[in-house]
C-alpha cells in the first residue's frame, strides 16, 4: 500500500506551483512617500521586490499608473509615517488621503526606520527611497505570514 505524501512536500509543491515562497506574498506596488520625493518599488510575481526609482510627489499618480499598467498590479503598499512615540506623523494624513483618492487596493505599513535601514545597506547611493519602498513590500509580506 502506498504511503501518503508528506504534507510539507505538498505545501512546498503548492507554493512552487503558485510562484510564491513562504517569504513572499501577493504581487504589488509600494510607495515610500516623502514631501520632496517618493520612492517606488514593485513585485510583479510576488517573489522579489524591485526598486523602481523616485519621483516628486506631484508625479506620483502618473508613476503609479505607469507601473500598474506595465506590471498589471492593483495593490499598493503605502509606508505610513509613524513617530517615535507610535502615533502617526502629520504627513500620515496626506498619505492616507492620497491613497484613498487613487484607484488601487491600498495597504498600510509602519515605515519607521525603513530609510535608515537601507541607507546603512547602501551608504554610497544618493537616494535610497526606492530601496525603502522595496523594503516595505518585504515587511508587508512578513506580516501576511
Render pLDDT for 51-110 as a digit per residue (tens, 0 to 9).
Answer: 999 999 999 999 999 999 999 999 999 999 998 899 999 999 999 999 999 999 999 999
Contacts of 95 (CB under 8 A, 6+ apart): 31, 33, 78, 79, 80, 81, 108
β partners of residue 61: none
Residue 128 is assigned to a structural domain of this protein:
yes
pLDDT of residue 130: 95
Q: What's the domain range around 67? A: 49-145
User: What distance in Å separates the CA atoms of residue 44 and residue 50, rounded to the nearest whole number?
Assistant: 9
* pLDDT for 142 beyond 80: yes
Give the pTM: 0.81
* pLDDT for 115 beyond 90: no
The tally of domains found in the chain comes to: 1
Contacts of 128 (CB under 8 A, 6+ apart): 39, 115, 118, 119, 122
Q: Are 107 and 100 in contact (CB under 8 A)?
A: no
pLDDT of residue 8: 53
Residue 66 is assigned to a structural domain of this protein:
yes
User: What distance in Å separates the CA atoms of residue 105 and residue 110, rounded to the nearest whole number?
Assistant: 17
Residue appearing with cell numbers 506620483: 60
pLDDT of residue 5: 53
Task: Report the mean per-residue pLDDT for the chain.
Answer: 85
Residue 119 is assigned to a structural domain of this protein:
yes
Residue 98 is assigned to a structural domain of this protein:
yes
Closest by CA to 40, choosing from 135, 145, 142, is: 135
Amino acid at each position: 500500500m502506498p504511503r501518503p505524501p508528506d504534507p510539507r512536500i505538498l505545501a512546498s509543491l503548492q507554493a512552487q506551483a503558485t510562484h510564491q515562497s513562504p517569504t513572499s506574498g501577493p504581487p504589488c506596488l509600494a510607495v515610500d512617500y516623502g514631501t520632496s520625493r517618493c520612492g517606488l518599488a514593485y513585485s510583479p510575481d510576488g517573489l522579489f521586490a524591485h526598486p523602481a526609482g523616485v519621483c516628486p510627489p506631484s508625479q506620483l499618480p502618473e508613476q503609479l499608473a505607469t507601473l500598474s499598467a506595465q506590471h498589471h498590479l492593483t495593490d499598493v503598499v503605502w509606508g505610513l509615517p509613524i513617530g517615535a512615540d507610535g502615533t502617526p506623523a502629520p504627513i500620515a494624513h496626506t498619505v492616507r488621503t492620497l491613497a484613498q483618492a487613487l484607484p488601487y487596493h491600498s495597504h498600510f505599513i509602519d515605515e519607521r526606520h525603513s530609510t535608515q535601514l537601507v541607507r546603512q545597506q547602501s551608504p554610497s547611493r544618493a537616494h535610497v527611497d526606492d530601496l525603502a519602498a522595496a523594503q516595505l513590500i518585504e515587511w508587508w509580506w512578513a506580516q501576511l505570514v
